[in-house]
Amino acid sequence: MAPIDPVALRPSYSAFLAPERILLTGHSHQAWPDAAKAGVELAFAHAALHVDDKWEEASRAADAVRAEVARWIGGDPGDVALGQNSHELVFRFLSALDWSRGRHVVTTDGEFHSLSRQLRRLNELGVEVTRVPAAPLETLGARLAAAVREDTVALMVSTVLFETASVVPGLAEACEAAHRVGAEVLLDAYHHLNIVPWEPVDPRAFVAGGGYKYAQWGEGCCFLRVPAGCALRPVHTGWFADFAGLGGDQTGPIAYGPTGGDRFAGSTYDPTSHYRARAVIEFFAAHDLSVERLRALSLHQTGTLMELLADQTILTPADPARRGGFVTVQRLAAGELVGRLRERGVWVDARRDRLRFGPAPYVTDDELERAVSIFHEVTR
């Protein structure tokens, strides 16, 4: 397997890359390849040509996104529901749970805001939420399993934690504990997909994620992989959820389409995002940017960052098997540092007191060294 050469790849990202800035935002908003622009222009052209009949063309772009998600994590593309953001898909999942059998949810204290904020709001309404501490990481899976009760309706947890890039171990044990009591499982894989090879932890689990980060798809390209044979009936339902049946009787019980992707579908959306994503998928295929090659480069880049930042308090696991796609250091006034680094052309971000450095396939070793050198100058 030949390694990815960031120098050779950079000309394909000419619109985003500039000599005066170093983009270490690979864990958040990665640069789009120039090919993405052609996807956006094609969406416009189809809308102008077909007007309201554009949806047949748009569905082909959406199908390409579903197929790529299924290729990443397995399953049938028809069981992949699409959404503009992960929160709306998570909310459809929550609305489909059988709350009559309990009002208890198990999660961690390391979840992203789209999940943690929603669960906090439900907690205000009487849903009991057990937030298992993410640390120590080695025992997290077992502690999640132990937190599951007979009245637990859902286990909702990330596979890679968004603040530290820690790959969560022991999830199979936690998922099995949830299924044993009849609870549903939702795995947030946003920081996992297309950067850490996917291992099928639990085929019965819902898997949520999106292309905003490591896939370089941009906004509006999120998904929910629904387990095969799912019969849940989301209360938060879009009219696409039974698109084929809308011409029939609408007086009986609400019906849903035959696939998981239908069942958890939303409503009218901006298809431009899927055109853009399809163009990027084709670009990745043409340049053989497989997850295996991306992972190899990522481990090299994050390893280099950890060596260069060895004088800092690093929160990301040193073990490559437990490390996701970025490196986090703990710093007071991390948010202020983001602005000071931006003034020097280094683009990073912060979550609370945690400064995140996210490399990407187009970032060179020289840029990593320059970025950390500037960081040391700013913090000295």
E strand segments, 200-276: 206-210, 222-225
Domain limits, CATH 3.40.640.10, in the chain: 37-280
Fold of 6-33+290-379: Aspartate Aminotransferase, domain 1 (3.90.1150)
User: What is the mean pLDDT of each successive set of 10 residues along the chain, which is 380 residues long?
Assistant: 95 94 96 98 98 96 98 96 96 97 97 94 97 96 98 98 96 98 98 94 95 96 97 93 77 88 94 98 98 98 98 97 97 95 97 96 98 96
Distances, alpha carbon 235 to alpha carbons 58, 199, 242, 256, in Å: 26, 31, 13, 11
Q: What is the pLDDT of residue 60?
A: 98
Rounded to whole angstroms, the Cα distance separating 360 from 305 reads 12
Q: Collapsing DSSP states into helix, strand and coil, what is residue 257?
A: coil
Residues with Cβ within 8 Å of residue 342, at least 6 apart in sequence: none
Rounded to whole angstroms, the Cα distance separating 265 from 221 reads 13
Helix segments in 189-317, DSSP class H: 260-263, 272-286, 291-308
Residues with Cβ within 8 Å of residue 319, at least 6 apart in sequence: none
**What's the helix, strand, coil split of the chain in %, to 5?**
45, 15, 40
Q: What is the pLDDT of residue 10?
A: 97
Q: What is the pLDDT of residue 315?
A: 97
Contact between 165 and 27 under an 8 Å Cβ cutoff? The reply is: yes
Domain limits, CATH 3.90.1150.10, in the chain: 6-33+290-379
Correct CATH for 37-280 of 3.40.640.10, 3.40.50.620, 3.40.190.10, 3.20.20.80: 3.40.640.10
Q: What is the pLDDT of residue 229?
A: 94
Residues with Cβ within 8 Å of residue 212, at least 6 apart in sequence: 28, 29, 190, 218, 219, 221, 222
Q: What is the pLDDT of residue 241?
A: 85
Tell me the one-letter amino acid at 47: A
pTM of the model: 0.95
